[in-house]
Structure 1
Amino acid sequence: MWTRRGLMAGGALLMARPLWAAPGLRLMMVRRKGCVYCAAWDREIGPVYARHPSGRMAPVFMVDVEGPYPDGLALDRRPWLSPSFILLRGGTEVARFEGYPGKDRFFDVLDAMLDEARALG
């Protein structure tokens, strides 16, 4: 469940947005229980993702393919393949890659997604 905390600033009540909806980029990994490719990502990429420069540019969060999905996402279409990697800016999809390209190509694919997000502004 996503929670919101009210903050008082200058007399106005501001609602904090969920982390996935922050103005920067976030990577949503859509996974399925028992997915062998998700397990491979967990072993091969998961331990180094947050330390990699591209991982720092787009922190990852996980969602099950069956949901629930965070409220307010604006996706091009509902994911059905796991894993799917959806790059979000403020909760809006800017790039997607379906499947796991393997440990030798994952960050190249992520870099291409980040380039696409930069090109969109």
Structure 2
Amino acid sequence: MRLSYLLLAVWLWVLPGAAVAQDTRLVIVEQAGCIYCVHWDRDVAPEYPKTAEGRAAPLRRVDIGDLPEDLKLKSRPVLTPTFILVQDGQEVARLEGYPGEDFFWPLLNRMLDEAGIERTIPEETKS
């Protein structure tokens, strides 16, 4: 019985400091006819889910004209594509426009770093 109380006390003491996993997503805000969205889809989208960044922040696509109510954004996007890093639906970082693949990855990694989001290297790329 004492052991049960001891374990309960330890659990209650440790629980408040335990890290809570957050739902992290990279939201792409797009619209029909957006040529830069097409370029991103061609250059980045096929590989994105296979990368450490894509695993850390899976992609969610939304239309600029129909923004979901569950997203708490700092401001309404006006450009497409706009990439919004969200944790538990709350915006933590934003990249407006698509600067090309060579610039996209470093900018995305800066967003992830500043938000404190860890990435792991996919097993198939480890040597």
TM range (shorter): 0.7 to 0.9
Task: For residue 52 of structure 1, report the CA deviation from its aligned partner.
Answer: 1.1
Q: In structure 1, what is the equivalent of residue 99 of structure 2? A: 101
1:79 aligns with 2:77: yes
Q: In structure 1, what is the equivalent of residue 39 of structure 2? A: 40
Task: For residue 32 of structure 1, report the CA deviation from its aligned partner.
Answer: 1.2
Q: In structure 2, what is the equivalent of residue 90 of structure 1? A: 88
**Residue of structure 1 aligned with 2:111, choices 103, 113, 117:** 113
Q: Matched residues in 2 for 1:34 and 1:59: separation?
A: 24
Q: In structure 1, what is the equivalent of residue 15 of structure 2? A: none
| Higher CA-based Rg | 2
Q: Where in structure 1 are there 5+ consecutive unaligned residues?
A: 1-21
RMSD over aligned CA atoms reads 1.5
TM-score by length of 2: 0.72
Task: For residue 24 of structure 1, report the CA deviation from its aligned partner.
Answer: 2.5
Structure with bigger strand share is 1
Task: For residue 105 of structure 1, report the CA deviation from its aligned partner.
Answer: 1.5
Structure with bigger helix share is 2
Task: For residue 111 of structure 1, report the CA deviation from its aligned partner.
Answer: 0.3
Q: Give the % identical residues.
A: 48
